[in-house]
Amino acid sequence: MTVAARLAGFAVGLVVLGGAAAAVGAAVGPAPERADAPEEMGEHGAMPAAAPVRGLSVSQDGLRLVVDQRTLPAGRTAPLTFRVVDDRGATVRDFDVEHTKRMHLIVARRDLTGFQHLHPEQRPDGTWTTPIRVADPGDYRVFADFARDETPVTLGADVAVDGTVTRHPLPAPATSATSDGGDEVHLQATDAHPGEEATLRFTVTRDGRPVELQPYLGAGGHLVALRDGDLAFLHVHPDAADGNRVAFAATFPTAGRYRLFLQYQVDGRVQTAEFTQEVSR
């Protein structure tokens, strides 16, 4: 069934996976969901008060994400433009530099495939824009990740890519993965439990030999974690890097499955490796 057919069939309201995110086009809707509402956690249960998870809402702390495109084409490059507005509807222009950039745009399909990490450019009127190419049809979540007045904010909205959708099951947890550039990446993780800090250590080799990791976004690597079901965005802090190793400290808010997207740089090229992380009670 195509995305267009699903949208037509649910004219009153489109229910997305996990029930936590708004319908396609909710980025410009008048009633965004609250990121801290316990009912949005679904099967994950209530979130601890200080859980470092964001991205469930189009609005936070008086800021709102407005995405101009409700749909994107499949298989070809198109512009994606968006703004961050305040509670008066005025476009916000001032942002802090965080991880060497003023704006990070994270994109992932609802089945946690199709991950992209983009760095849009800001126009004089405050609008952010970036070219984007989405290969596969489906429902996607876009996250505007930034900091303002030294406060980190992640706002999320949905866009649709029309066409026949083939969903992919979440891969089982594994300790090794092949990056999109062909490197072998090994994960060593401490036991992960809700509300407790876990250490995620990654080692990168190529043809059996260690490779030297170059700084990427001001650190040895960058890690995004998205929760299976509602795609809650977990901010993961870099801990240490040495040679071909990089480590992160992560506090997962609830039990369940998370998809980890590790990005690192070797020989001037950024590569991505993906893992599934189980968090048990």
71-126 residue pLDDT tens: 999 999 999 999 999 999 999 999 999 999 999 999 999 999 999 999 999 999 99
Its pTM stands at 0.82
For 42, phi then psi, to 5°, come to 55, -130
Q: What is the pLDDT of residue 52?
A: 58
Q: What is the pLDDT of residue 53?
A: 80
For 179, residues 6+ apart whose C-beta sits below 8 A from its C-beta are 185, 204, 271, 272, 273
Q: With 80 as the cut, is the pLDDT of residue 170 above it? A: yes
Q: What is the pLDDT of residue 237?
A: 82
Give 31 or 60, the one with higher predicted confidence: 60
Q: What is the pLDDT of residue 51?
A: 52
- Residue range(s) in the chain whose domain bears CATH number 2.60.40.10: 3-161
Structure tokens at 153: 């904010």
Sheet containing strand 104-109, edge to edge, reads: 71-72, 151-161, 138-148, 104-109, 116-118
Element (H, E) at 4: helix 3-9
Q: With 80 as the cut, is the pLDDT of residue 180 above it? A: yes
Class of domain 3-161: mainly beta
Q: With 80 as the cut, is the pLDDT of residue 262 above it? A: yes
Give 55 or 15, the one with higher predicted confidence: 55
Averaged pLDDT for residues 201-213? 97
Alpha carbons 232 and 51: distance in angstroms, whole number: 11
- Residue range(s) in the chain whose domain bears CATH number 2.60.40.3340: 176-279
pLDDT tier at 235 (50, 70, 90 boundaries)?
confident
> Is-contact 137 164, C-beta < 8 A?
yes
Residues linked to residue 81 through DSSP beta bridges, in sequence order:
129
Q: What is the pLDDT of residue 37?
A: 35
pLDDT tier at 256 (50, 70, 90 boundaries)?
very high
Range of weakest confidence among 44-58, 183-197, 223-237, 267-281 = 44-58
Alpha carbons 149 and 97: distance in angstroms, whole number: 10
Q: With 50 as the cut, is the pLDDT of residue 244 above it? A: yes
For 240, residues 6+ apart whose C-beta sits below 8 A from its C-beta are 220, 246, 247
Q: With 90 as the cut, is the pLDDT of residue 1 above it? A: no
Class of domain 176-279: mainly beta
Contacts of 175-178 spanning 24+ positions with Cβ under 8 A: 177/273, 177/274, 177/275, 178/273
Averaged pLDDT for residues 186-211? 97
Residue pLDDT, tens place only, 6-36: 434 433 333 333 333 333 333 333 333 333 3
Q: With 50 as the cut, is the pLDDT of residue 206 above it? A: yes
- Torsion over CA of 104, 176, 170 and 264, rounded to 10 degrees? 10
Averaged pLDDT for residues 60-65? 95
Alpha carbons 222 and 167: distance in angstroms, whole number: 26
Q: What is the pLDDT of residue 45?
A: 40
* Residues above pLDDT 90, as percent of the chain: 78
Range of weakest confidence among 22-31, 190-199, 204-213, 246-255 = 22-31
Residue 186 vs residues 114, 129, 173, 197, 248: alpha-carbon distances, Å:
21, 35, 12, 20, 14
CA R_g for the chain: 18
* Residues above pLDDT 70, as percent of the chain: 81
Alpha carbons 106 and 86: distance in angstroms, whole number: 21
Could you tell me how many residues make up the chain?
281
Alpha carbons 74 and 13: distance in angstroms, whole number: 23
